[in-house]
Amino acid sequence: MPEKTTHFGFETVNVDEKAERVRTVFDSVASRYDIMNDLMSFGIHRLWKHIAVDLAGVRSGMKVLDLASGTGDLASRFAGLVGSDGEVVMSDINLAMLEEGRKRMVDEGYAGNIEYMQIDAESIPFPDNSFHVVTIAFGLRNVTDKDRALREMYRVLKPGGRALVLEFSKPVSKPLEKLYDFYSFKALPLMGKLVARDADSYRYLAESIRMHPDQETLRGMMEEAGFERCDFHNLTGGIVAVHRGFKL
């Protein structure tokens, strides 16, 4: 029986190998993750995340699961919105990233309504119907089995809840796409080399973005996972998109 394969950037690898290689990438970049995000996006990632938080519709008293939290940009905002009666589970499959996020949350004074957990999005350790909102920002493209992760997100949502996926996507115009390709494959690895001392990880970042499903494909995948009223919102000309789906 042939071994199952998947993509690690442009490279074809065995399914069992991808998670470990992704872990190695984020172990390498964890300590400089926030600096590189600001440099790579010219700070625009903060606006993308602000829009995503608005679209998530989080309110006081809600229970929120933030997958692939990284250093907690979304989780920190959610903690302020849910208040003392709510709860935010800040999670990441990568322990180095989660520890960086936890340190940041403590330094910024977030406590009481945030729980930190190492979680694989393909196997979420919570019962059905546990959360009002489930989010994943710039993490779905790194998941080996995206369909399974989307099904898990649907499963742990409460009826009436919503899932939100913030992810790099496909530019809507050819000129922008060509400019973005040049920037991704020339500038990003150079920045990674100079700032994070790791060109290979940022070359993987650019490749993983190109291998991620485009806007319409991802919406279809969410519908297949059970979500209804699925929509997406292009940001910065489609370089990034926010997808939403509801569990009715």
pLDDT in tens, 157-203: 999 999 999 999 999 999 999 999 999 898 888 888 888 788 888 89
Question: ∠ at Cα 151 (147, 152), nearest 5°?
Answer: 115
pLDDT tens digits along 94-134: 999 999 999 999 898 887 899 999 999 999 999 999 999 99
Residue 90 lies in a domain: yes
pLDDT score recorded for residue 245: 98
In this structure, is residue 87 part of a structural domain? yes
CATH number of the domain that 109 lies in?
3.40.50.150
- Whether 188 is covered by a domain: the verdict is no
The answer to the question of residue 53 being in a domain is yes
Q: How many domains does the chain have?
A: 1
Give the mean pLDDT of the chain: 92
Burial string for 51-87 (b: 16+ CB within 10 Å, else e) reads ebbebbebeeebbbbbbbbbbbbbbbbbbebbeeebb
Mean pLDDT of 33-44: 85
pLDDT band at 2 (very low <50, low <70, confident <90, very high): low
Q: How many Cα atoms are found within 13 Å in the side-chain-facing hemisphere of 154?
A: 20
Q: Is residue 182 part of a domain?
A: no
pTM of the model as a whole: 0.91
Answer whether residue 190 is part of any domain.
no
Identity of residue 68:
A
Q: Is 198 a member of any domain? A: no
Examine residue 180 and state whether it is found in any structural domain, yes or no.
Answer: no
Q: Which residues contact 187 (CB under 8 A, 6 or more apart)?
A: none
Write out the residue range of the structural domain in which residue 79 sits.
5-172+203-246
Does residue 27 register a pLDDT over 90?
no
Residue positions counted in the chain: 248
Residue where the block lists tokens 């499903």: 213
